[in-house]
Amino acid sequence: MSVPVNTPLMGGNERKYLNECIDTGWISSEGPFIERFESEFSKYCNRQFGIAVSSGSAALDIAVKAIGIGPGDEVIMPTFTIISPALSVIKAGGTPVFVDNDPLTWNMDVDLIESKITTKTKAILVVHIYGLPVDMDKISQLAATYKLRVIEDAAEMHGQSYRDKMCGSFGDISIFSFYANKNITTGEGGMIMCDNADIAKHCRKLRNLAFDPDRPRFIHYEAGWNYRMTNMQAAMGLAQLEQIDSFVTRKRVMGNIYQKELGFLVGLGYRLPLAATTDAKNIYWVFGLVAPNEDEKNKLVDYLNSKKIGTRPFFWCMHQQPLFFNLGFGADQHFPISENLARCGFYIPSGLGLTLQQMEEVTSTIKQFYA
């Protein structure tokens, strides 16, 4: 692709810190950068504890287990999201209960949550989608009223805030992903965040095959995972974190350019990302477009790809995943807003490494298609 859908930006101390790992020999899951990255990222997100792990999905697996989700427990979550949150709940023995999404913010519709709460409901799993945060005040109120746990999936929200409070600082436990397309990347990697010392200790145990620091080594009383982050990944993460403010500014500048240049699409029936709500300004993790129908989306995507401009489809709904049908989840459910987003939505090149020249190529190519 002449304009890839994502290009990371690594212009800080990444090379310096990685060379330090190589020079000192600290390249595996032990080394000073891990603790430094955990500490600095926790401080940035206003959390007491950070536990670095191998991916955002690994962080979800651990978070779900660490707060006690198990067989028979129901967890309310959006149907429009990546598959990882639902998979983590199912692997723990729980039942995902899906909620439709809001047509403007593309986040879960919090006004639909209360009707889904039953005596089996154990938690609400919040997923901030694409650039705007979920209404966390309403989530917190519901959790307090019904005595529910809150898991906050802030995988896409590095640097975003909700009413001046950092995303990733809400609920009983929160997670981030550091995949290559995130605002902070370690290539692969993730982080669990919480304020409870006992939960943090349990998470650290679970990421390391459930080795018990208080018992003889190689004797296990609980199932865990090898979900450790390497010192080299943490070194890159720390270097990226040092640049987070400039990354957030850059994302918003890019989003504003796209809004201006592609605003004409609204007159053709498209929906563009909401620039802001009363709670936050969009961070534009990706810049999504929702076409007036699926056929129109396919035509534009095919044209962009023919011009070597990368695109990615939106998430597919959880209640329509063939995997979940076979497991007995999601069948005969209908969520019209989410289904429309999944079928008609896609995003255009949005990575931090995108240049102004490349953005101009993207917008001019879309204009050519509709000339």
CATH number of the domain bearing residue 156: 3.40.640.10
How far, in Å, CA of 268 to CA of 367, rounded? 12
At 1, the pLDDT band (50, 70, 90 cuts) reads: low
Least confident of 1-10, 85-94, 168-177: 1-10
pLDDT at 275: 97
Nearest to 83 by CA among 288, 345, 321, 285: 321
211 strand-pairing partners = none
How far, in Å, CA of 101 to CA of 333, rounded? 14
- Same domain for 259 and 184? no
Sole residue written with tokens 């605003």? 263
> How many domains are there within the chain?
2
- Same domain for 166 and 283? no
- Give the HSE-up count for residue 36: Cα atoms under 13 Å, Cβ half-sphere: 18
pLDDT at 208 over 80: yes
Nearest to 100 by CA among 342, 347, 345, 344: 342
pLDDT by residue (tens digit) across 254-296?
A: 999 999 999 999 999 999 999 999 999 999 999 999 999 999 9
pLDDT at 144: 98
At which of 241, 265, 297 does a domain end?
A: 241
pLDDT by residue (tens digit) across 315-368?
A: 999 999 999 988 887 778 999 999 999 999 999 999 999 999 999 999 999 999
Domain that holds residue 161: 14-98+106-241
- Same domain for 280 and 199? no
- Same domain for 85 and 214? yes
Give mean pLDDT, residues 56-69. Answer: 98
Is residue 302 domain-resident? yes
Sole residue written with tokens 């035509």? 299
Give mean pLDDT, residues 161-174. Answer: 96
- Same domain for 151 and 174? yes
- Same domain for 222 and 268? no
Q: Which amino acid belongs to residue 74?
A: E
pLDDT at 369 over 90: yes
